[in-house]
Each structure stands twice: as structure tokens, then as C-alpha cells.
Amino acid sequence: GQNIDQPTEMTATEGAIVQINCTYQTSGFNGLFWYQQHAGEAPTFLSYNVLDGLEEKGRFSSFLSRSKGYSYLLLKELQMKDSASYLCAVRGGNYQLIWGAGTKLIIKP
Amino acid sequence: SAVISQKPSRDICQRGTSLTIQCQVDSQVTMMFWYRQQPGQSLTLIATANQGSEATYESGFVIDKFPISRPNLTFSTLTVSNMSPEDSSIYLCSVWASEGSEAFFGQGTRLTVV
């Protein structure tokens, strides 16, 4: 079957760094996506990895290891507005997105 | 990029009635995707809407309950029929960027069935 696992909830402190992990098992692989979703809003795109390695975009970075079926999203210099759910999604062999359940990130002052 | 206008943004409906959700994209796209997101859960794909053919439904979703129209390459509707409280959810439409490196979403429709 197809499966994406990520932690349900994480807590971090304002100004700190947090790493959200995602492991996946899918039929085929055509890229991994990270999205941010604030409560009651639509998801917004953060990053896309299709090759192994690190993609950096400002305070956010995303890493992919295809051989390990593993990705992480790294958030630096955390701000209160980063409190949100972070969704990991894999585009499988049929080009449809398979979504993880999301990680709720709580930022404390 | 693609800009998607989705409406209504929210609605409260009586059980047994139907609601039609509309999505308008500012560019032509081959496929549009309809998702449901129940409270505290991730996104579940309902169906893929293709222009000129019937939508392709995922396991657990049927056309009688969620009829979809796709009259042209920029517009689609999803109807939630004969609603029950279990249909209370956020419904989202989505399209791929042309190069496939990002999926864009409408603003979502928050549906409450009472």
C-alpha cells in the first residue's frame, strides 16, 4: 500500500529551529512537496524536491533521500506566525498527490 | 502560476439538500482535482475532473453523491448531494502548475451540514 508518515504534533520555541520529518512508501515517485496550512485556510506551497539533497528557500529548507524514502522540512528562526500544520505530499507514479496527515506545529514565546 | 477563485467560501446547509461549489482558474488546465479535508485530517482526493469526459472518482466516492461538471478548461463544479452532517468538511479544488512543480489550491469551501 501507499503510506506517508509524519509526526502528529510538535512544539518549538520562537527563534529556534525545528525539523519535521516525513517518511513515505509509494508506488512510484515523481516528487515530494511540503505545504503549510493555517487553520481554516487552503494549503500554501513551501517546497518541492524531486532529486536527492537540500533545497533552501529563505528560512525554510527541505531535504530528500529517495533511497531512504525520507524527507524533512527545516524551519529556522521560528516566528509565531509559523504556527500551522505542515503537510508532506508525494506525487506517485500516476501523478496524483498522496498526502500525509500533517504535523501541527505549535510555537511558544 | 495559477490563480483559482473558489466559491462559496463557506455555507451552512440543511441535511438532505445539495450544494454546488465552483472553481474558476485564470488559465487553461487539463486536470482539476477536488479534495475533501475533514476536521483535523489531511486532504483526501474525491475525483479528477477532465474537460470533455466524465470525472474519475477515487475509492469511496461516487458520482451520484458528488457529481462534477467540467464544461471548459478553466471551470469546474462539485456538487455535494443529499447532504448529511458527515459531509461537513472543507472542500478544495486544485490544479497543477504547467511545469508540474507546484499544486495550486482554491481558497476552500467550509461546509457545515445541520
Cell of A64: 530528500
pLDDT value, residue A92: 84
pLDDT value, residue B20: 98
Question: How close is the nearest chain B Cα to the Cα of A75, in Å?
Answer: 20
Choose the weakest-confidence range: A45-54, A99-108, B37-46.
Answer: B37-46
3-class DSSP assignment, residue B29: coil
According to DSSP, the residues that pair with B76 across neighbouring strands are B23
The answer to whether A88 touches A72, Cβ cutoff 8 Å, is no
Question: How close is the nearest chain B Cα to the Cα of A102, in Å?
Answer: 6
pLDDT value, residue B60: 94
pLDDT value, residue A2: 82
pLDDT tens-digit profile of B60-82? 999 999 999 999 999 999 999 99
CB-based contact (8 Å) between B105 and chain A? yes
CB-based contact (8 Å) between B69 and chain A? no
